[in-house]
Structure formats: structure tokens, C-alpha cells
Amino acid sequence: MDLARITADVTTAVEGLLAVAKLKAGKIVLVGCSTSEILGHKIGSASNLEVAQAVWNGIYQVVREKKLYLAVQCCEHLNRVLVTEEECAEKHNLEIVSVVPHVKAGGALATVAMAEFARPVVVEAIKADAGLDIGDTLIGMHLRRVAVPVRLGIKQIGNAHLTLARTRPPLVGGERARYPVDPGK
């Protein structure tokens, strides 16, 4: 597997997502990632730390440059809890739980996040403002209530299907209601 290509493709995907989502500083970007799927294997069957590091290298710096927070979703063996920075958990009043993700329970990207974040914590739930789902890891439970698909030219990372989403506030009211021109703001 071409690790440099994975990094470049992830960077392209996250840059495209952030260009569409137009998030303000302090918002949360979520990533769910199956390194097994990137390698062409069944999800959860071939976790790979090198591939996870390549994904991390493609996303983390882009997110931080925009002054956003990154949250990494763990696998179902940890009930899809998330790894993020302690600062994010404090700012967004997230409940911290006690667990240490590793390759066989949490996944490779969560393991890398635990090593790479300055002050990593694991939280039970989050309501992210945008997200990347690499390999059909089902990130929807951790996005804000109204998710809007984002379509870019890039459709996969390695062999893994790529789904991107931004969120917007719900449109409430009825036939007399008026909405902003861009309800995503």
C-alpha cells in the first residue's frame, strides 16, 4: 500500500470537506476509519498502525491549522467512544470515560490518536460539526442531528469507501417560516 498516497488522499478529502463546511474555530471534525478496509480487507480484520499513521498525517495538521478539534471514533468493541484532546472535552463539556484504546479494541487510528494528541482523553459521545467516514465505520451517531452529505471528486481512500458530511441547524417551523439563504451558517 502506498502510504504517501493515503496521506495525500486524506488531505484532499479533509480540505474539500472543510471548504464546503466553512466551520468556525473551535468546532469539531470527526473521523471514523477502518485501516482494514483501506487495505482491502473486511472491517476490523487487519488493523494496521502504518496506515493509521498515514491517515493521521493527512488529517491532523489540516484540522489544527483551521483551529478546529479532531475526534477519532473507536470501533464497536469500545462502543464507538472517541479519542480527542482534553481541551476539546473541556470546551464542549464532554463526558470523559476510562479506557485505553489499542489496535484490537478501539482500532489503529484511535491508537495513533492516543499517541499523537498532546493530552488525549476518551469521551463517550460527541456532536461533531463535520466528519469523514473511511470504510463505512458508521459515524452518524456522533454528528449533529442534521447531517448533509458532501460530494467531492474523491470517493475512496485506498480500497475503503469514503463518506463525507457536514451538519446544519434543523429547519423548524411550518409553511409561514422563513429561513436564512444558507441554513448551514
pLDDT per residue as tens digits for the range 46-56: 999 999 999 99
The predicted structure's pLDDT at residue 185? 55
pLDDT confidence band for 117 (50 / 70 / 90)? very high
pLDDT of residue 176: 81
Q: In the chain, where are the structural domains located?
A: 3-168
The reported pLDDT for the residue numbered 183 is: 61
Chain length of the chain: 185
Q: What is the mean pLDDT of residues 4-14?
A: 98
Q: What is the average per-residue pLDDT within 107-135?
A: 98
What integer pLDDT is reported at residue 113 of this predicted model?
A: 98
pTM, two decimal places: 0.92
Classified by CATH at the fold level, domain 3-168 comes out as Rossmann fold (3.40.50)
| Residues β-bridged to residue 72 | 31, 83
Of the pLDDT bands very low, low, confident and very high (cuts 50, 70, 90), residue 41 is very high
Give the pLDDT mean for 152-165: 97
* 59-73: pLDDT as tens digits: 999 999 999 999 999
Cα dist from 52 to 17, 20, 39, 104, whole Å: 20, 25, 11, 13
